[in-house]
Structure 1
Amino acid sequence: MELVWHKQVPLKVTALAWRLIRDRLPTKANLTNHGILPMEARLCVTGCGHVEDVSHLILSCPFFGALWPMVRDWLGVEGVDSHAHLDHFMQFIQYAGALKSRRSLFHLIWLQCVWVIWNERNDMLFRGRNGSLPQLLDKVKSNTLVAES
C-alpha cells in the first residue's frame, strides 16, 4: 500500500491504484475470468481489438497508452514505458531523479494519470463519451494542480 500512498491524493485514487497494482480492477478481462462477462465481451472499450486487462488498459492500449509520452513531454523527461504496471510505476518515479520533492510530484502525477485513464474508460463504457488525448492530459494537469494546492 505504501507504494501508492500519497498525502495529496484522495483515498479513492489511492484505492484505485492499490487495486491496479494488484490486478484487482474490474477490467473486462478480470470480469471474464470470474465468469461475469462472456469471452466475447473482454475486448478493450476503445475498439482496438485487444483484451482489456490492467497492463493493456493503462500502458499498451493505442489510445490510453498514448497519454504517457504526452505526460513525459509535459514534464520534460525522456524514456520508454515498461509494459508491466508495477515496473511502469517504479520507472516513472525514477524519471524525477533524486530530489525528494520532484519524486513526490511524479508520484502524484502517475496516480492522477491512472485515475484519469480509469474514469475515461468508464465514461466510454457506461456513458458512450469519447474524450481526446489532449483532454485527458488537461485533466491530469488540472487534477495535479488541485492536489498540490
Structure 2
Amino acid sequence: MFSLGVEEGDQWLWLPEPSHGYSVRGAYSVLTSKDLPLVDSAAEMIWHRQVPLKVSVFAWRLLRDRLPTKSNLIYRGVIPSEAGLCVYGCGVLESAQHLFLSCSYFALLWSLVRDWIGFVGVDTNVLSDHFVQFVHSTGGSKVSQSFLQLIWLLCAWVLWTERNNMCFNDSITPLPRILK
C-alpha cells in the first residue's frame, strides 16, 4: 500500500509489518501462514502433486478469471467487442463462466464425464463452486476425492485446449471423441 501526503514524503508500506517494512522473512511468514483469509477450498485443490504445474497454474488463472477469454481481451482493449462471441458460435459473449459452464457445446462435457463416472449432479454457475461440488459430489474417501479432483482439472484443461484448437486452428473435435 502507499500513502500520498502533501506535507510528508511519499512512502510504500508493507501491510503485514508497516513499522518494520518489507522483508523476505515477513513475506515467507505471510505465504506459509495457515490463517490466510483469501484461500478458499477450491484454491487449495488446484495444487495437486499428480497434476503438471502448467495445469495447476491454468486452474489458478481460471478460478480467478484471468484467462485470455474474449471477454477479458475486450476488457483489456486487445480485441474489439464485435469479436467477443463464443468460439463455438452459440452467439454469447465468451467468458470463463460461459465457456466452462454454460456453452451448449463445452459445458456438455461435464454431463458426459458424470455419466462415465456414474453419478448425478447439478452444475452451479460459479466455477470455484463447480470445482468443489464436483470433487465432493460422491461424498467418498480422500482417494475418491483426489481422483475427482484430477478429473475436474483434466476436463478444464481439455476444454481450454479444445477452445484454443477451435480459435486458432479452426478444428472441432466431437466431445465424445475428446473423452477417449
Q: How does 1:1-149 map to 2 (within 5 A)?
A: 1-138=43-180
Q: Contact 1:117/1:136 (CA < 8 Å) preserved in 2?
A: no
Q: Contact 2:46/2:56 (CA < 8 Å) preserved in 1?
A: yes
Q: Contact 2:45/2:149 (CA < 8 Å) preserved in 1?
A: no
Q: Contact 1:58/1:65 (CA < 8 Å) preserved in 2?
A: yes
Instruction: Output one character per residue of 1:100-145: Cα deviation in whole Å (capped at 9) or x when no partner.
Output: 000000000000000000000000000111000101222xxxxxxx
Deviation, 1:95, is 1.2
The whole-number CA distance in structure 2 between the counterparts of 1:4 and 1:88 is 13
SS in 1 for 2:47: coil
Q: Which runs of 4+ in 1 moved over 6 A?
A: none
Unmatched 5+ stretches in structure 1? 139-149
Deviation, 1:6, is 1.1
Q: Contact 2:69/2:96 (CA < 8 Å) preserved in 1?
A: yes
Instruction: Output one character per residue of 1:16-65: Cα deviation in whole Å (capped at 9) or x when no partner.
Output: 00000000000000000110010001110000001100000011100000
Q: Contact 1:44/1:50 (CA < 8 Å) preserved in 2?
A: yes
SS in 2 for 1:64: coil
Identity %: 53
What TM-score comes out, normalization by structure 1 length? 0.90
State the one-letter code of the partner of 1:61. Answer: C
What TM-score comes out, normalization by structure 2 length? 0.75
State the one-letter code of the partner of 1:15. Answer: V
The whole-number CA distance in structure 1 between the counterparts of 2:138 and 2:46 is 16
RMSD: 0.8
The whole-number CA distance in structure 2 between the counterparts of 1:83 and 1:39 is 23
Q: How many residues align?
A: 138
Answer 1 or 2: higher relative contact order, Cα 8 Å, separation at least 6: 1
Greater Cα shift, 74-83 or 101-110: 74-83
The whole-number CA distance in structure 2 between the counterparts of 1:135 and 1:13 is 21
